Chains A and B, each alone.
Chain A
């Protein structure tokens, strides 16, 4: 199965930074410090997880579409990526307006949870790439059920209790710089990546980047799913630690770093952003790991006890063929493999969809998160002090 046509498709540039923790910026160069262990323990005891830093909850960006009855849409997705779908939705529905709020995933979770506790949902529809957050919200009874033809068509693994639905299909990929990584060395799988990092004086030391899982809910989710999926992840962590890999925030910065040659390889980058960039920059290579490829479905919930009918209609539209087509143009939905460019030599591996359901609760357990973060920080050095 081929995921990423190399040939560029016309697409508007997608804003690519998923700023998960608003206050956290900039990459953290890992430094192995002697006192890391003590800090780790402290972090574990305090339950520091992805929800490490708390800023004043405020949207990163807000835009209003249309005029009339207002649906509040809160999402972690950049406005520009979703705008075409929103515009098309409103085209056929005069009298409806959408207030689009773009949030960091941790803030979005905190806000929605707080509103759930107060019983006053502030949004009609919440869409997040940190799907474990939304699964937790569903488990806490913060989401309203919604049943329609569109929701019924969602595969079982991507829906739960008729309260949460996966609306996109985005793989976690490895991106690399074509100019700097010889074709023979392009890692097709995690094993290849491990092999690249194994030599004593590997040129890749310090030039592999991945998400900072403390700053990015999505980064945490990918890393956590890796740890659940295969033991490779343990070896990878060890290799990252040994070669002083870089943990940093934000898809955009990671991809830019690869484009500029600052990093040679970036691991676990959200495919939708990488593809958009690759469409503009032929130097950017993308690999869907052949051992397995995590596939994320951004999740949507209708917060509150009772679903807002307009928000439900928006959900139905996004799940329906029109919405899926528009989102596919913006690479939020992986197109049918037959659609892919035959020149594309990259292999796609076994796809492992991140199912929306009870097992994701594990990624929200504070003890588990503390342990996992501690282990991760053991490799990358302490996070934000």
Chain B
């Protein structure tokens, strides 16, 4: 790919980073990717946090319940172990340790009841809620004097000579300490959770920023570029951004080609026009100095012929520039190559048909569909036809078909002549051909450029008849 000489850069004005380009008017920034990711992660953390908070709450309750249930078991067993049989009667000597144990829940009231066989009250509170049926150790929840409480029942069986039966020890405790502990556990868990969540969120921001870093660097590289520098971006690009960069590179490539086209147009024009114009000037000089009217008229006739051919050259050059430009910029439409051939043949080109030569058209029944720009393709076909009419021998035949072997669409022009010499063939299709007098080589160059623009090529074959074909892929 060509690059613009450095000296041209400053003239066109360096990039003024910071000042928004005119094209920004239509750009509206949406929520940043960082914000999107962080918001998403935040929502995720929030949902997770709620779930974990519920779990912490449940865990706190369970832990507190288990801790204080052990207290109850200890106290009840402590009391039960002091039950003794004296004179055939169960006797309780309440241990202070049981109450000290229960006092570990410092703010809670205590209910207790020790009863012998037949629910005979030995000591403690009357009218405590009845325990549910069950084994020798049972926990249950019930009220104690207007406050919710947790109870345990421990049964102790005696089989003595003087007493046989069961003594039930019921110990209950209100729930303040349990609830406090549950709240405490939950609260601490929530604090840890909140701190963890914030830390994760912070890390998430950092990670997201790190992950999106290549985008920023890419933007910086683009911004730092010389505006004339249309070389493709290279280097290591994250997979997700690659399509964008490839698209960007393609876009810049087209831009670069168009720049190239324009530069070539200018240099071609200069090159192509220099000689004819110099010749014109020389002949005009001669004509001005010529005193013999007869010779002067001859010279003027030559000047006229040169001017005409110069005009034709200019037409073709413009046409070629147009074709190349369209090849890059025009939409690729689905079209029938037969229409193109018909258009080219029927084009009312007085110059071409001046010789009165007949052009035959050979097209089939089936459409030959290709993708391209109708105007460019028609121009290419016209150039091929004009080339054949100009340089070949009649009869000239224009045809359209699909190759049997390769399945490619072809628009061809055939004449009965031998075709150009071998060394000329090799150069045909180049921008300008040295051997092509009066710039007529430009026609083939146009056709070649069109074929190339739509992914095809120019093909020449044979001699007597000599065939030139525009080869394109068939559109599906």
Q: Do A and B come from one complex?
A: yes
| A contact residues vs B (CB 8 Å cutoff) | 138-141, 156, 160-161, 228, 357-359, 361-362, 365-368, 371
Q: Distance (Å) between the CB of B472 and the closest chain A CB? A: 95
Q: Among A138, A358, A367, point to the contact of B99 (Cβ < 8 A).
A: A358
Is B93 a contact partner of A368 (Cβ separation < 8 A)? yes
- Does B107 sit at the interface, judged by CB under 8 A? yes
Given A366-B123, A367-B123, A138 and B96 contact (CB-CB distance below 8 Å): no
Cβ contacts under 8 Å, B100 to chain A: 358-359
Q: Distance (Å) between the CB of B171 and the closest chain A CB? A: 12
Cβ contacts under 8 Å, A371 to chain B: 93
Q: Distance (Å) between the CB of A225 and the closest chain B CB? A: 11
Cβ contacts under 8 Å, A140 to chain B: 109, 145
**Of all chain A residues, which has the CB nearest B107?**
A161
Is A141 a contact partner of B103 (Cβ separation < 8 A)? no
How far, in angstroms, from A359 to B144 measured CA to CA in the complex?
A: 18
Is A161 a contact partner of B93 (Cβ separation < 8 A)? no
Is B96 a contact partner of A141 (Cβ separation < 8 A)? no
Given A367-B91, A368-B93, A361 and B110 contact (CB-CB distance below 8 Å): yes
Q: Among B92, B94, B109, point to the contact of A138 (Cβ < 8 A).
A: B109
Q: Distance (Å) between the CB of B145 and the closest chain A CB? A: 4
**Of all chain A residues, which has the CB nearest B92?**
A367
Is A139 a contact partner of B93 (Cβ separation < 8 A)? no
Cβ contacts under 8 Å, B108 to chain A: 358
Q: Distance (Å) between the CB of B70 and the closest chain A CB? A: 17
Is B147 a contact partner of A141 (Cβ separation < 8 A)? yes
Q: Distance (Å) between the CB of A363 and the closest chain B CB? A: 10
**Of all chain A residues, which has the CB nearest B123?**
A367
Cβ contacts under 8 Å, A141 to chain B: 109, 144-147
How far, in angstroms, from A359 to B105 measured CA to CA in the complex?
A: 12
Given A358-B99, A358-B103, A359-B100, A365 and B109 contact (CB-CB distance below 8 Å): no
How far, in angstroms, from A359 to B101 measured CA to CA in the complex?
A: 9
Is B99 a contact partner of A361 (Cβ separation < 8 A)? yes
Cβ contacts under 8 Å, B103 to chain A: 357-359
**Of all chain B residues, which has the CB nearest A305?**
B146
A-facing residues in B103-148 (Cβ within 8 Å) = 103, 106-110, 114, 122-124, 144-147
**Further pairs besides A358-B100, A362-B99: 6, Cβ < 8 Å:** A139-B109, A141-B147, A160-B107, A358-B99, A367-B93, A367-B114
Cβ contacts under 8 Å, B147 to chain A: 141
Q: Among B102, B106, B122, B146, point to the contact of A367 (Cβ < 8 A).
A: B122
Given A367-B92, A367-B93, A161 and B109 contact (CB-CB distance below 8 Å): yes
Cβ contacts under 8 Å, B122 to chain A: 367
How far, in angstroms, from A160 to B146 measured CA to CA in the complex?
A: 18
How far, in angstroms, from A361 to B106 measured CA to CA in the complex?
A: 14
Cβ contacts under 8 Å, A358 to chain B: 99-100, 102-103, 108, 110
How far, in angstroms, from A368 to B96 measured CA to CA in the complex?
A: 10
A-facing residues in B64-116 (Cβ within 8 Å) = 91-94, 96, 99-100, 102-103, 106-110, 114
How far, in angstroms, from A110 to B102 measured CA to CA in the complex?
A: 26
How far, in angstroms, from A371 to B84 measured CA to CA in the complex?
A: 13
**Of all chain B residues, which has the CB nearest A41?**
B87
Q: Distance (Å) between the CB of A26 and the closest chain B CB? A: 31
Is A365 a contact partner of B123 (Cβ separation < 8 A)? yes
**Of all chain A residues, which has the CB nearest B111?**
A139
Cβ-closest 8 pairs across A and B: A367-B123, A141-B145, A358-B103, A359-B99, A139-B109, A367-B92, A365-B94, A368-B94
Is A362 a contact partner of B94 (Cβ separation < 8 A)? yes
Cβ contacts under 8 Å, B144 to chain A: 141
How far, in angstroms, from A271 to B222 measured CA to CA in the complex?
A: 95
Cβ contacts under 8 Å, B123 to chain A: 365-368
Cβ contacts under 8 Å, A365 to chain B: 94, 123-124
Cβ contacts under 8 Å, A161 to chain B: 107, 109
Most buried by B among A138, A141, A228: A141
Given A362-B99, A367-B123, A357 and B106 contact (CB-CB distance below 8 Å): yes
Q: Distance (Å) between the CB of A141 and the closest chain B CB? A: 4
Q: Distance (Å) between the CB of B176 and the closest chain A CB? A: 8
How far, in angstroms, from A156 to B123 measured CA to CA in the complex?
A: 29
How far, in angstroms, from A157 to B106 measured CA to CA in the complex?
A: 10
Bitwise, B140-158 to A at CB < 8 A (1) or not (0) is 0000111100000000000
Cβ contacts under 8 Å, B91 to chain A: 367
Q: Distance (Å) between the CB of A372 and the closest chain B CB? A: 10
Q: Distance (Å) between the CB of A154 and the closest chain B CB? A: 14
How far, in angstroms, from A360 to B77 measured CA to CA in the complex?
A: 20
How far, in angstroms, from A366 to B91 measured CA to CA in the complex?
A: 12
**Of all chain B residues, which has the CB nearest A45?**
B89
How far, in angstroms, from A161 to B124 measured CA to CA in the complex?
A: 21
Is A228 a contact partner of B96 (Cβ separation < 8 A)? yes
How far, in angstroms, from A367 to B144 measured CA to CA in the complex?
A: 21
Subset of 13 A-B contacts with CB under 8 Å: A138-B109, A141-B145, A161-B107, A357-B103, A357-B106, A358-B110, A359-B96, A362-B94, A362-B99, A365-B123, A366-B123, A367-B92, A367-B94
Is A139 a contact partner of B110 (Cβ separation < 8 A)? yes
How far, in angstroms, from A361 to B109 measured CA to CA in the complex?
A: 10
How far, in angstroms, from A208 to B107 measured CA to CA in the complex?
A: 41
Cβ contacts under 8 Å, A357 to chain B: 103, 106
Cβ contacts under 8 Å, B93 to chain A: 367-368, 371
Q: Distance (Å) between the CB of A306 and the closest chain B CB? A: 13
How far, in angstroms, from A139 to B146 measured CA to CA in the complex?
A: 11
**Of all chain B residues, which has the CB nearest A357?**
B103
Q: Distance (Å) between the CB of B455 and the closest chain A CB? A: 90
Cβ contacts under 8 Å, A138 to chain B: 109
How far, in angstroms, from A199 to B96 measured CA to CA in the complex?
A: 34
Cβ contacts under 8 Å, A367 to chain B: 91-94, 114, 122-123
